[in-house]
Amino acid sequence: MSNETRKKLVGGHIELGHVLGTGGFGKVYYAYDVKKGVNVAVKMIDKELVRSSGIQSYVEREIDLMRKIKNPHVIRLLEAIETSKAYNLVMELAPNGELFDKIVDSQRFDESTARNYFQQLISAVHYCHQLNIVHRDLKAENLLLGENNVLKVCDFGLSRYTKEGLFSDHEVLFMSLAGSIDYQAPEVLKERGYEGSACDMWSCGCILFFMLCGYLPFTDRSDGLTRKRILSCQYNKNSRYLSEEAADLISHLLERAPSARFKTSDVIQHTWFRVDLNPELFPKDKVEPTPSSPSGGEFIERAITPQASSSSFTNTTAPTPTTQKADEIHQAFQTCNITGDGFLHKEEVRDALIKLNGDVEVSEDEVNDFMANFQLDAEGRITEEEFVVGWTKHQNSLGKKYDVAKMANLFHYDLEKEFLQVIRKAFDSIDVEHSGTITKQDLKKLNLGLTDKDVESIFHTVDTENKGLQALTFEMFVGLCLKYDFFKNHPLAIRLRRLNAFFEATEHAAFRTSFSTSYTVAGQREVIKVLLLSKQGSLSTTFEEGDVIGFLYGTYSEDSKKVLEVGVRLLPAAPGYTKVSTYRIGGKTTEFHKWFLNLRKLMKDELLRCEEDTAVKGEAELM
């Protein structure tokens, strides 16, 4: 890349070249990473357009999703750089263009070529669906060709999680008209709600048909006619370019009923798909390939030459010792980066080293020595890319002292990252010296009137094996915060909940306990009603039904769509107390969860007063 074509510097080390493509919110540039000496692609998203269009959450979600996806057939996000004018997603470069152009140039593919690409596509989709991620915009234009023409799925701007989060196993029903019409499933066009994974499979069927026949199955003279054909599933099922087995697979993918449509697991077992299948595409599924038989059809074009197919492709996916070690390094980063923000903070490094040291505090020098092996960003953090580069560069010294395989399995938190960030804030508010542990002395300094016996009682809750624990690590602290019954019933723990950061940190367990069963606060119903009306400006409608006082929270919207409408009932409890019962009338589950936690936060004093009044009296004793 010549100096003449380098027009702009991003993040101090990314030199932009010519434009590869243009979208509604920015451009994709050919670029050069000066630091690593490699060519990359940069998706530059205009911040002003993002703000004016109200799609900030979309951009953040795309970055979050791409950081989680580690698959050889998905374009990899190397770095995300925010500047004053743009969000810059630095991605691996796919030098051989779009699959769409390759199909058009070739008119169509023979079965062997189409199968090769389709196997790689299903490998990527299968991987994403196992992570509860759906793409929602699969099309030939979003399938790029990397080195040796290896297929890479790109553009996760419309991707979503298919689960509602930690609090529900239910599939999310999407309402938006996502994707390009030529690839859209019937249920998407009906706009009555759809599950994302099934619409991805429909798109895969359209792509396979396109590769084999040279044209899209439902495209017509206008969008209206195309829509009609999709809704009635009218396509050329008897095309002379489709073998019987290929036509059968496509018919299962272009099935109108989403519930009857093939999933990735069904595709993997299909006879046509299994011919010459590389088992390493599905390492956890143990799929047996079917040998190909000679065919007399005209050879149009092979995506990968036999030499490339047997060598470079294997190098991309086969679990050689080198790639196994690389996977362990990536996993070590992701495990230690417990907040999942893509940056390894000093506190997280300290947590990891303490865990590796048998839960014993490590010195500041050791933490600094470890971090000195990596290139830090302006805020003193390690990106995943720099973690891999640094570990590889210093593997002799690091490998002798730290077991990367053990690091890859250090922590297993079944918590959303937002709650982990809240708990981290609470931990740091007590660990004022940032030693990575909370000592008994730290608890005494909180000015809560805790005696030595009180502190021992709290430590005993964590030290279930009676090891004589002298300090709490962050991991232990997380476990402590999740013991809501302890905080609800133990008078000493209730005093700890008076600390704002600690209150928020322990609310996650409170959520699980009280979300579906309501909760009780101190105060008469009329007093609580006045309190809520004064603190929650969006309260709009009040009603009374016998002994029940209730009100509806006003709605708020995104893009003219209702996001949340909630009801609150105040029920009679014991004299001087009120039971608070909430229910969702309409809107997103995730927004309801956030609102519910905020409601409890607003009622913190009344909640804690009730907990103190109902706690066991007398000397504190834990069962």
The whole-angstrom separation of Cα 427 and Cα 505 is 9
Q: Which residues of 441-479 are buried (b: 16+ CB within 10 A; e: fewer)?
A: ebbeebeeebeeebbebbbebbeeeeeebebbbbbbbbe
Q: Which residues of 207-221 are buried (b: 16+ CB within 10 A; e: fewer)?
A: bbbbbbbbbbbbbee
DSSP state letter for 256:
S
Q: Residue 250 in contact with residue 259, Cβ under 8 Å? A: no
CA atoms within 13 A on the CB side of 368: 4
Task: Collapse the DSSP code of 267 into the 3-class scheme (helix H, G, I; strand E, B; otherwise coil) and give the result.
Answer: helix
Strand positions, DSSP E, 64-210 = 77-82, 86-92, 133-134, 143-145, 151-153, 160-161
Count of Cβ atoms closer than 10 Å to residue 623 Cβ:
5
Which two structure tokens, joined as six digits, stand for 523? 């105060």
Q: Is 535 annotated as a binding residue?
A: no
The whole-angstrom separation of Cα 86 and Cα 601 is 35
DSSP state letter for 486:
H
Task: Collapse the DSSP code of 456 into the 3-class scheme (helix H, G, I; strand E, B; otherwise coil) and give the result.
Answer: helix
Residue 335's alpha-carbon distances to 166, 317, 332, 352, 390, in angstroms, are 18, 22, 5, 9, 17
Strand positions, DSSP E, 497-599 = 519-522, 539-545, 548-553, 556-558, 561-572, 577-587
In the annotation, is 64 catalytic? Answer: no
Which two structure tokens, joined as six digits, stand for 292? 């190909």
Strands 548-553 and 539-545: antiparallel
Please name every residue paired with 570 in a beta bridge, in sequence order, or none if there are none.
Answer: 549, 580
Which two structure tokens, joined as six digits, stand for 177? 């008209």
Count of H-run helices and E-run strands, the chain: 28, 20
CA atoms within 13 A on the CB side of 197: 23
* DSSP secondary structure, 201-225, as one string: HHHHHHHHHHHHHSS-SS--SSHHH
> What are the φ/ψ torsions at residue 63 (nearest 5 degrees)?
-65, -45
Count of Cβ atoms closer than 10 Å to residue 223 Cβ:
11
Name the residue with tokens 């009932």.
569
Residue 75's alpha-carbon distances to 94, 435, 533, in angstroms, are 8, 39, 50
Q: Residue 144 in contact with residue 98, Cβ under 8 Å? A: yes
DSSP state letter for 179:
S
**Active-site annotation holder among 33, 64, 110, 137:** 137
Q: Residue 157 in contact with residue 134, Cβ under 8 Å? A: no
Q: Is the dihedral of CA 478, 479, 480, 482 positive or negative?
A: positive
Q: Residue 371 in contact with residue 402, Cβ under 8 Å? A: no
Q: Which residues are catalytic?
A: 137
